[in-house]
Amino acid sequence: MTVEFVELAWRDRRVRIEHQWLRAGGASAATLVFLHEGLGSVAMWKDFPLRLCDALGCRGLLYSRPGYGRSTPRPAAERWAPDFMHRQAHEVLPALRAALGLTQPVWLFGHSDGGSIALLHAAAPAQGVAGAVVLAPHILVEDCSVRSIEQAGLDYTQGGLRQRLAAYHDDPDSAFWGWSQAWLDRRFREWSITAELAAIACPLLAVQGLDDVYGTLAQIRGIAARVPQTRLLELPDCGHSPQRDRPEALIAAVAEFCLPHMTAGAPDAELPG
Protein backbone atom coordinates (compact mmCIF):
# COMPACT_ATOMS: atom_id res chain seq x y z
CA MET A 1 0.00 0.00 0.00
CA THR A 2 1.60 3.18 -1.24
CA VAL A 3 1.58 6.48 0.59
CA GLU A 4 0.71 9.38 -1.72
CA PHE A 5 0.67 13.16 -1.39
CA VAL A 6 -1.71 15.89 -2.48
CA GLU A 7 -1.22 19.64 -2.11
CA LEU A 8 -3.98 21.83 -0.72
CA ALA A 9 -4.40 25.57 -0.40
CA TRP A 10 -5.21 26.09 3.29
CA ARG A 11 -5.55 29.49 4.90
CA ASP A 12 -2.46 31.54 3.97
CA ARG A 13 -0.27 28.76 2.58
CA ARG A 14 -0.13 25.52 0.66
CA VAL A 15 0.21 22.25 2.57
CA ARG A 16 1.18 18.77 1.47
CA ILE A 17 -1.11 16.02 2.80
CA GLU A 18 0.13 12.47 3.22
CA HIS A 19 -2.60 9.93 2.45
CA GLN A 20 -3.09 6.25 1.72
CA TRP A 21 -5.88 4.28 0.06
CA LEU A 22 -6.92 0.82 1.26
CA ARG A 23 -8.82 -1.65 -0.93
CA ALA A 24 -9.09 1.10 -3.53
CA GLY A 25 -10.11 -1.26 -6.32
CA GLY A 26 -13.65 -1.77 -4.99
CA ALA A 27 -15.41 0.84 -7.13
CA SER A 28 -18.89 0.26 -5.70
CA ALA A 29 -17.90 -0.01 -2.03
CA ALA A 30 -18.49 2.55 0.69
CA THR A 31 -15.52 4.72 1.66
CA LEU A 32 -14.37 4.94 5.28
CA VAL A 33 -12.19 7.97 6.13
CA PHE A 34 -9.88 7.48 9.13
CA LEU A 35 -9.20 10.52 11.35
CA HIS A 36 -6.23 10.06 13.66
CA GLU A 37 -5.72 11.08 17.29
CA GLY A 38 -3.93 14.17 18.58
CA LEU A 39 -0.49 12.57 18.19
CA GLY A 40 -1.37 10.22 15.35
CA SER A 41 -0.54 9.83 11.67
CA VAL A 42 -1.13 7.45 8.77
CA ALA A 43 1.59 5.09 10.01
CA MET A 44 0.42 5.06 13.63
CA TRP A 45 -2.82 3.30 12.67
CA LYS A 46 -0.65 0.26 11.76
CA ASP A 47 -2.73 -2.64 10.39
CA PHE A 48 -6.03 -1.85 12.09
CA PRO A 49 -7.62 0.13 9.21
CA LEU A 50 -7.00 -2.66 6.71
CA ARG A 51 -8.42 -5.25 9.10
CA LEU A 52 -11.52 -3.13 9.60
CA CYS A 53 -11.97 -2.41 5.89
CA ASP A 54 -11.63 -6.12 5.15
CA ALA A 55 -14.34 -6.88 7.72
CA LEU A 56 -16.64 -4.24 6.25
CA GLY A 57 -15.81 -4.84 2.59
CA CYS A 58 -15.23 -1.12 2.16
CA ARG A 59 -12.49 1.15 0.90
CA GLY A 60 -10.41 3.16 3.33
CA LEU A 61 -8.71 6.54 3.20
CA LEU A 62 -6.06 7.43 5.78
CA TYR A 63 -4.40 10.83 5.95
CA SER A 64 -2.11 12.79 8.24
CA ARG A 65 -3.37 16.24 9.16
CA PRO A 66 -1.07 19.25 8.60
CA GLY A 67 1.58 19.13 11.30
CA TYR A 68 1.62 15.32 11.50
CA GLY A 69 3.28 12.33 9.90
CA ARG A 70 4.81 13.21 6.56
CA SER A 71 2.39 16.06 5.89
CA THR A 72 3.63 19.65 5.98
CA PRO A 73 4.88 20.39 9.54
CA ARG A 74 3.49 23.15 11.71
CA PRO A 75 5.68 26.29 11.59
CA ALA A 76 7.68 26.31 14.83
CA ALA A 77 6.28 29.67 15.96
CA GLU A 78 2.66 28.81 15.16
CA ARG A 79 0.32 28.08 18.07
CA TRP A 80 -2.97 26.40 17.28
CA ALA A 81 -6.02 28.30 18.47
CA PRO A 82 -8.79 26.64 20.54
CA ASP A 83 -10.82 26.19 17.33
CA PHE A 84 -8.13 24.04 15.69
CA MET A 85 -10.41 20.99 15.44
CA HIS A 86 -13.18 23.08 13.88
CA ARG A 87 -10.69 24.23 11.24
CA GLN A 88 -9.75 20.64 10.46
CA ALA A 89 -13.40 19.59 10.18
CA HIS A 90 -14.65 22.56 8.16
CA GLU A 91 -11.58 23.54 6.11
CA VAL A 92 -8.94 20.82 5.71
CA LEU A 93 -11.16 17.72 5.40
CA PRO A 94 -13.55 19.31 2.86
CA ALA A 95 -10.56 20.53 0.82
CA LEU A 96 -9.00 17.07 0.91
CA ARG A 97 -12.25 15.41 -0.14
CA ALA A 98 -12.58 17.83 -3.03
CA ALA A 99 -8.99 17.28 -4.13
CA LEU A 100 -9.45 13.51 -4.11
CA GLY A 101 -12.87 13.56 -5.77
CA LEU A 102 -14.83 12.25 -2.78
CA THR A 103 -18.08 13.91 -3.76
CA GLN A 104 -20.45 11.20 -2.52
CA PRO A 105 -21.24 10.69 1.20
CA VAL A 106 -18.48 8.94 3.15
CA TRP A 107 -18.23 7.12 6.47
CA LEU A 108 -15.94 8.57 9.15
CA PHE A 109 -13.84 6.67 11.70
CA GLY A 110 -12.26 9.06 14.18
CA HIS A 111 -10.12 8.53 17.27
CA SER A 112 -9.78 11.09 20.12
CA ASP A 113 -9.23 14.52 18.50
CA GLY A 114 -10.05 12.78 15.22
CA GLY A 115 -13.33 11.66 16.78
CA SER A 116 -14.17 15.26 17.62
CA ILE A 117 -13.28 16.31 14.07
CA ALA A 118 -15.54 13.53 12.75
CA LEU A 119 -18.43 14.78 14.89
CA LEU A 120 -17.95 18.36 13.68
CA HIS A 121 -17.74 17.27 10.04
CA ALA A 122 -20.86 15.11 10.42
CA ALA A 123 -22.74 18.01 12.01
CA ALA A 124 -22.46 20.01 8.78
CA PRO A 125 -25.12 18.44 6.50
CA ALA A 126 -23.59 19.85 3.32
CA GLN A 127 -20.42 17.78 3.89
CA GLY A 128 -22.11 14.49 3.01
CA VAL A 129 -21.54 11.96 5.81
CA ALA A 130 -23.25 8.57 5.57
CA GLY A 131 -22.31 7.50 9.10
CA ALA A 132 -19.62 7.79 11.74
CA VAL A 133 -17.76 5.77 14.36
CA VAL A 134 -15.93 7.77 17.03
CA LEU A 135 -13.46 6.32 19.56
CA ALA A 136 -12.75 8.25 22.77
CA PRO A 137 -14.02 11.51 21.28
CA HIS A 138 -13.91 14.80 23.14
CA ILE A 139 -17.00 17.02 23.29
CA LEU A 140 -15.76 19.11 26.21
CA VAL A 141 -12.63 19.45 28.34
CA GLU A 142 -12.34 17.34 31.51
CA ASP A 143 -9.76 17.70 34.27
CA CYS A 144 -8.47 14.19 33.61
CA SER A 145 -7.71 15.17 30.00
CA VAL A 146 -5.62 18.14 31.10
CA ARG A 147 -3.75 16.10 33.73
CA SER A 148 -2.94 13.35 31.23
CA ILE A 149 -1.67 15.83 28.65
CA GLU A 150 0.51 17.48 31.27
CA GLN A 151 1.92 14.04 32.09
CA ALA A 152 2.54 13.40 28.40
CA GLY A 153 4.60 16.60 28.34
CA LEU A 154 6.87 15.22 31.04
CA ASP A 155 7.26 11.99 29.09
CA TYR A 156 8.07 13.98 25.96
CA THR A 157 10.74 16.17 27.56
CA GLN A 158 12.14 13.74 30.15
CA GLY A 159 11.12 10.27 28.97
CA GLY A 160 11.00 8.38 25.71
CA LEU A 161 7.88 9.79 24.05
CA ARG A 162 9.75 12.05 21.64
CA GLN A 163 11.86 9.16 20.38
CA ARG A 164 8.78 6.97 19.95
CA LEU A 165 6.92 9.67 18.02
CA ALA A 166 9.93 10.27 15.75
CA ALA A 167 9.20 6.90 14.14
CA TYR A 168 5.84 8.23 12.89
CA HIS A 169 6.39 11.96 12.29
CA ASP A 170 8.98 13.75 10.17
CA ASP A 171 8.86 16.52 12.78
CA PRO A 172 7.72 15.15 16.17
CA ASP A 173 7.97 18.62 17.77
CA SER A 174 5.42 19.88 15.25
CA ALA A 175 2.94 17.19 16.24
CA PHE A 176 3.49 17.16 19.99
CA TRP A 177 3.71 20.87 20.75
CA GLY A 178 0.92 21.78 18.35
CA TRP A 179 -1.41 19.39 20.16
CA SER A 180 -0.30 19.91 23.76
CA GLN A 181 0.00 23.70 23.64
CA ALA A 182 -3.52 23.95 22.22
CA TRP A 183 -5.03 21.66 24.84
CA LEU A 184 -3.16 23.31 27.73
CA ASP A 185 -4.02 26.86 26.64
CA ARG A 186 -6.21 28.40 29.37
CA ARG A 187 -8.71 29.47 26.73
CA PHE A 188 -9.22 25.86 25.73
CA ARG A 189 -10.78 24.98 29.08
CA GLU A 190 -14.01 26.54 27.77
CA TRP A 191 -13.93 24.55 24.52
CA SER A 192 -17.05 22.49 23.82
CA ILE A 193 -18.83 21.13 20.76
CA THR A 194 -22.00 20.05 22.55
CA ALA A 195 -24.08 22.71 20.79
CA GLU A 196 -23.11 21.38 17.35
CA LEU A 197 -24.02 17.76 18.07
CA ALA A 198 -27.78 18.11 17.63
CA ALA A 199 -27.25 18.69 13.88
CA ILE A 200 -25.85 15.17 13.36
CA ALA A 201 -28.43 13.14 11.41
CA CYS A 202 -26.36 10.11 10.31
CA PRO A 203 -25.94 6.77 12.13
CA LEU A 204 -23.38 7.14 14.92
CA LEU A 205 -21.45 4.65 17.05
CA ALA A 206 -19.57 6.16 20.02
CA VAL A 207 -16.95 4.03 21.81
CA GLN A 208 -15.16 4.62 25.11
CA GLY A 209 -12.74 2.46 27.06
CA LEU A 210 -13.57 2.22 30.76
CA ASP A 211 -9.89 2.73 31.66
CA ASP A 212 -9.35 5.82 29.50
CA VAL A 213 -7.21 8.40 31.33
CA TYR A 214 -7.98 11.11 28.75
CA GLY A 215 -11.76 11.10 29.12
CA THR A 216 -14.71 9.62 31.00
CA LEU A 217 -18.02 8.12 29.92
CA ALA A 218 -19.45 11.64 30.18
CA GLN A 219 -18.07 12.22 26.69
CA ILE A 220 -19.97 9.53 24.79
CA ARG A 221 -23.02 9.69 27.05
CA GLY A 222 -23.12 13.41 26.36
CA ILE A 223 -23.21 12.61 22.65
CA ALA A 224 -26.08 10.15 23.11
CA ALA A 225 -28.06 12.74 25.08
CA ARG A 226 -27.94 15.09 22.09
CA VAL A 227 -27.93 12.65 19.14
CA PRO A 228 -30.75 10.14 19.76
CA GLN A 229 -29.69 7.66 17.06
CA THR A 230 -26.31 7.14 18.77
CA ARG A 231 -25.32 3.62 19.78
CA LEU A 232 -22.85 3.42 22.68
CA LEU A 233 -20.10 0.87 23.23
CA GLU A 234 -18.41 0.98 26.64
CA LEU A 235 -15.41 -1.37 26.62
CA PRO A 236 -13.91 -2.86 29.81
CA ASP A 237 -10.17 -3.56 29.99
CA CYS A 238 -9.63 -0.76 27.51
CA GLY A 239 -7.81 2.57 27.69
CA HIS A 240 -7.75 5.53 25.34
CA SER A 241 -7.12 3.49 22.17
CA PRO A 242 -9.74 0.76 21.62
CA GLN A 243 -8.21 -0.08 18.23
CA ARG A 244 -5.04 -1.16 20.05
CA ASP A 245 -6.44 -2.42 23.36
CA ARG A 246 -9.53 -4.31 22.12
CA PRO A 247 -9.22 -4.61 18.32
CA GLU A 248 -11.22 -7.82 17.87
CA ALA A 249 -14.14 -6.62 19.99
CA LEU A 250 -14.07 -3.26 18.25
CA ILE A 251 -14.05 -4.70 14.73
CA ALA A 252 -16.95 -7.01 15.59
CA ALA A 253 -19.00 -4.15 17.05
CA VAL A 254 -18.26 -1.78 14.16
CA ALA A 255 -19.17 -4.47 11.61
CA GLU A 256 -22.46 -5.20 13.39
CA PHE A 257 -23.26 -1.50 13.44
CA CYS A 258 -22.08 -0.44 9.98
CA LEU A 259 -22.84 -3.33 7.65
CA PRO A 260 -26.64 -2.91 7.63
CA HIS A 261 -26.12 0.70 6.46
CA MET A 262 -23.30 0.03 3.98
CA THR A 263 -25.38 -1.28 1.10
CA ALA A 264 -23.73 -1.36 -2.30
CA GLY A 265 -24.35 1.77 -4.32
CA ALA A 266 -22.79 4.12 -6.77
CA PRO A 267 -19.03 4.67 -6.40
CA ASP A 268 -17.92 7.65 -4.39
CA ALA A 269 -15.35 8.61 -6.97
CA GLU A 270 -12.85 7.24 -9.45
CA LEU A 271 -10.08 6.10 -7.10
CA PRO A 272 -6.61 4.78 -7.82
CA GLY A 273 -6.50 1.02 -8.25
- The domain spanning residue 252 has which CATH number? 3.40.50.1820
Q: Do strands 230-235 and 13-22 pair parallel, antiparallel, or not at all (unpaired)?
A: unpaired
Handedness of CA 255, 112, 9, 19 (dihedral sign): negative
pLDDT at 272: 34
Q: Residues for the chain: how many in total? A: 273
Is residue 133 classed as helix, strand or coil in its secondary structure? strand
pLDDT digits (tens, 9 = 90+) for 148-159: 999 999 999 999
Quote the pLDDT of residue 125.
86
Contact 214, 144 (CB under 8 A): yes
Instruction: Give pLDDT tens digits for 192-240.
Output: 999 999 999 999 999 999 999 999 999 999 999 999 999 999 999 999 9
DSSP helix/strand/coil, 272: coil
Give alpha helix (H) positions in 81-240: 84-87, 93-100, 113-122, 143-158, 161-165, 172-184, 194-197, 218-226
Q: What per-residue confidence (pLDDT) applies to 268?
A: 39
Q: What is the pLDDT of residue 27?
A: 61
Across 48-62, average pLDDT: 97
91-137 pLDDT tens trace = 999 999 999 999 999 999 999 999 999 999 999 988 899 999 999 99
Do the domain assignments include residue 272?
no
CA–CA distance, 34 with 42 (Å, rounded to integer): 9
Expressed as residue numbers, the domain containing 97 is 3-258
Residues 92 and 65: beta-carbon distance below 8 Å: yes
Q: Rounded to an integer, what distance in angstroms lies between the CA atom of residue 194 and that of residue 233?
A: 19
Q: Is residue 127 part of a domain?
A: yes
Is there a domain that residue 266 lies in? no
Q: Where are the beta strands (DSSP E) in the chain?
A: 3-10, 13-22, 31-35, 59-63, 106-111, 129-135, 204-209, 230-235
Lowest mean pLDDT among 37-41, 74-78, 206-210: 74-78
Q: Could you give the CA distance from residue 185 to residue 38 in angstroms, rounded to a whole number?
A: 15
Model pLDDT, residue 181: 97
Q: Report yes or no on 264 lying in a domain.
A: no
Domain contains 267: no
Mean pLDDT of 17-36: 89
Q: Environment class of residue 45 by beta-carbon count within 10 Å: exposed (0-12), middle (13-18) or buried (19+)?
A: buried
pLDDT of residue 264: 41
Query: Which tens digits make up the pLDDT trace of 42-52?
Result: 999 999 999 99
Evaluate whether residue 120 is within a structural domain. yes
Residue 32, strand partner residues: 60, 107
Domain total for the chain?
1
Percent of the chain with pLDDT over 90: 90
State the distance between the two ends of the chain, measured CA to CA, in whole angstroms: 11
C-alpha–C-alpha distance, residues 128 and 119, integer Å? 12
What's the CA gap between 234 and 268, in Å, rounded?
32
Residue 269 lies in a domain: no
Domain contains 273: no
The reported pTM is 0.95
Percent of the chain with pLDDT over 70: 95
Q: What is the pLDDT of residue 26?
A: 63
- Arithmetic mean of pLDDT over the chain: 94
